Amino acid sequence: MEVKSFLDISDQEIDRVNEIFFESSARTHFSSQKKRERFQYKYLDYYKIYHPELFFVLCDPRPIGYICGVPRILKEKKLFELLGHLHAFKDYYEDYPAHLHINLDQECTGKGFGSYLLGYFEAYLREKKLKGVHLVTSPGARNNHFYLKNGYTFTVEKTYKDVPLLFMGKSL
């Protein structure tokens, strides 16, 4: 088991990361290829392009999960244009500046790999002197407990365009 930087992985490994992304997503239907690509850009490729240094892949030996994000969300003007719902939580980004996304191969969930990858990501952020980290998920999703048990205990619920959202933050 090894954590690799996105900067060091092969094209084949990138393909597996892309598959894990779609397999983990709640959205399964896209009316066109363009819409599918746009979805991938907003929630995955953006991070590969703008913050590859903060994109880590857990390999055993092939990829079984990944974590990615940005260090200071308030600097990511393009991300706010892509993901309008991020505006809903703007009051909390000073305290929890880093933003993350994590997904595992569904065959590999529930074995502690997600907690390990999250800890790896947080250690990197601490080294960079970031004071907090957050993610946005759906209230009531199974992953809520995963984040809570990993210390994401600052929570705020809001609704954006009739969709309920849950912000979860952790001080580092």
The residues binding ligand COA (CB under 6 A) are: 24, 102-104, 109-115, 135, 137, 142-143, 145-146
As measured in angstroms, the least distance from the Cβ of 25 to ligand COA is 8
123 vs 129 by CB, closer to ligand COA: 123
As measured in angstroms, the least distance from the Cβ of 102 to ligand COA is 5
61 vs 112 by CB, closer to ligand COA: 112
9 vs 64 by CB, closer to ligand COA: 64
As measured in angstroms, the least distance from the Cβ of 129 to ligand COA is 25
| DSSP run (H or E) holding 83 | none
| H helices, E strands: number in the chain | 6, 7
Contact 136, 90 (CB under 8 A): no
DSSP 61: S
HSE-CB for 11 with a 13 A CA cutoff: 0
Produce one character per residue of 6-15: b if its CB has 16 or more CB atoms within 10 Å, e if not.
beebeeebee
As measured in angstroms, the least distance from the Cβ of 68 to ligand COA is 12
- The three-class DSSP label of residue 90 is helix
Distance CA 131, CA 141 (A): 26
30 vs 150 by CB, closer to ligand COA: 150
As measured in angstroms, the least distance from the Cβ of 146 to ligand COA is 3
Indicate the residue whose CB is closest to ligand COA: 114
| DSSP run (H or E) holding 4 | strand 2-5
33 vs 158 by CB, closer to ligand COA: 158
